[in-house]
Amino acid sequence: MYKLNNTVMKMITPLVSGILFGLGLLLSGMANPAKVRAFLDVFGDWQPALIAVMVAAIAVFALAYAFSKKMKQPWFHSIFHKPSLTALDARLIIGAALFGIGWGMVGLCPGPALLSIMTGQEDVLIFILALLLGNRIAHISVGPAK
Amino acid sequence: MWNELAGGALIGLAAAVLWLGIGRIGGISGVVANLFLLRQGHRFWSLYFLIGLLLAYPLYVYLVGTPDMQITNNKVVLVVAGILVGAGTYIGNGCTSGHGVCGNGRLSLRSIVATCTFMAFGMLTVLIMNNLPYSWDV
């Protein structure tokens, strides 16, 4: 019975997380490209409200992360998959820079982009297809980070 | 201000549920790569996360109303930006969620550097685009 529950919870946990994530993106305005671009427009008509999104999200996750250090394992899984990369290399900087340019151009990062598929807007679908193409190009040309 | 704080708290809670529940970092560029580059062993949770993310939209429309989502209709800008976001997040191993929320919450130096970098380049891009004598329709 315990095993069955774990299997079900391994489906329900990411499902619930995805719903909460999406609701948060929509409520905060992170899924509105015009608002994101206005937030990035620090030298023009700057709208700084989205700082609050970052601060609140980081604070809540930081608390959960601190709490997890007292746990032997996650509630429904055997281990915590802690990111293994630690090096500050050119790859990290170049990748982040390219992402920043694309993010500034349209105002969509991957989460809001995926979520926006549901609006059925042609412009969002074009962006998503280009995103998947870029993902594939990077995968073929540079491969996974080690 | 309250919507931003509450929305941010929900995003943090979502990442917390994923970490405490199944020990996974809630990074959307990771989810995209797991699903569309067919990474073994990661597809299971990523698929359910994506379904949840998509379900959030009709749920939000039902609970709150249709959200304001204004996007450019300049096809060249959309394609170039999409490719840059898809390639950049793959190369840099993360985006606004994996680095911006989870990584910074863990005080990961890599994520702090990545966040400062994509914020700086995002700001620079908006500055340049908004000051060129060309209408981007953005």
Residue given tokens 């609050």 in the structure block: A52
What is the pTM (predicted TM-score) of this model? Answer: 0.94
Chain A residues within an 8 Å CB radius of B89: 95, 99, 110, 135
Report whether A30 contacts A111 (CB < 8 A): yes
Token representation of residue A5: 């529950």
Backbone dihedral angles phi then psi of residue A31, each to the nearest 5 degrees: -90, 5
Contact call for residues B31 and B46 (beta carbons, < 8 A): yes
Best interface-test mutation with B: which of A55, A88, A98 has the largest number of B CBs within 10 A? A98
Q: Give the whole-angstrom CA distance, residue A56 versus residue A49.
A: 12
Smallest CA–CA distance, residue A7 to chain B, in Å, is: 11
The pLDDT confidence band at residue B39, using thresholds 50, 70 and 90, is: confident
- Name the pLDDT band for A144 (thresholds 50, 70, 90): confident
Q: Are B90 and A134 in contact (CB under 8 A)?
A: yes
For chain B, give me the number of helices (H) and strands (E)?
6, 0
Tens of pLDDT, residue by residue over B52-86, are 999 999 999 999 999 999 999 999 999 999 999 99
| Closest by Cβ to B23, choosing from A55, A57, A80 | A80
State both tokens at A21.
């994530």
Q: What is the pLDDT of residue A123?
A: 95
Q: Is residue B42 less than 8 Å (CB to CB) from chain A?
A: no
Looking at the complex, does the CB of residue B16 fall below 8 Å from at least one CB of chain A?
yes
Residues of B in Cβ contact (< 8 Å) with A11: 44, 48
Q: What is the ipTM of this complex?
A: 0.95
What size, in residues, is chain A?
146
Report chain A residues whose CB lies below 8 A from the CB of B55: 15, 18-19, 22
**To which residue do tokens 């800008």 refer?**
B77
B76-122 pLDDT, tens per residue? 999 999 999 999 999 999 999 999 999 999 999 999 999 999 999 99
Nearest CA among B84, B79, B101, B49 for reference residue A55: B101
Q: B110, B98 in Cβ contact below 8 A?
A: no
Please say whether the beta carbons of B53 and A21 come within 8 A. yes
List the end-to-end C-alpha distance of chain A, in Å, as a whole number. 39
Interface probe, candidates A27, A37, A89, chain B, greatest B C-beta count within 10 A:
A27
Q: Percent of chain B at pLDDT above 90?
A: 86
Tokens read off for A31: 């899924």
Whether residue B115 contacts residue B93, with contact meaning beta carbons closer than 8 Å, is answered with no
To the nearest whole angstrom, how far is the Cα of B86 from the nearest Cα of chain A? 4
Residue B57, pLDDT score: 97
- What b-and-e string marks burial along A96-119, b requiring 16 or more CB atoms within 10 Å of the CB? bbbbbbbbbbbbbbbbbbbbbbbb
Contacts of B4 in chain A (CB under 8 A): 28-29, 49-53, 56
Do B128 and B69 meet the contact criterion of CB atoms below 8 Å apart?
no
User: In degrees rounded to 5, what are phi and psi of residue B134?
Assistant: -145, 135
pLDDT in tens, A17-68: 999 999 999 999 999 999 999 999 999 999 999 999 999 999 999 999 999 9
Per-residue confidence (pLDDT) for residue B137, from 0 to 100: 65
User: Does B30 touch chain A if contact means CB atoms closer than 8 Å?
Assistant: no
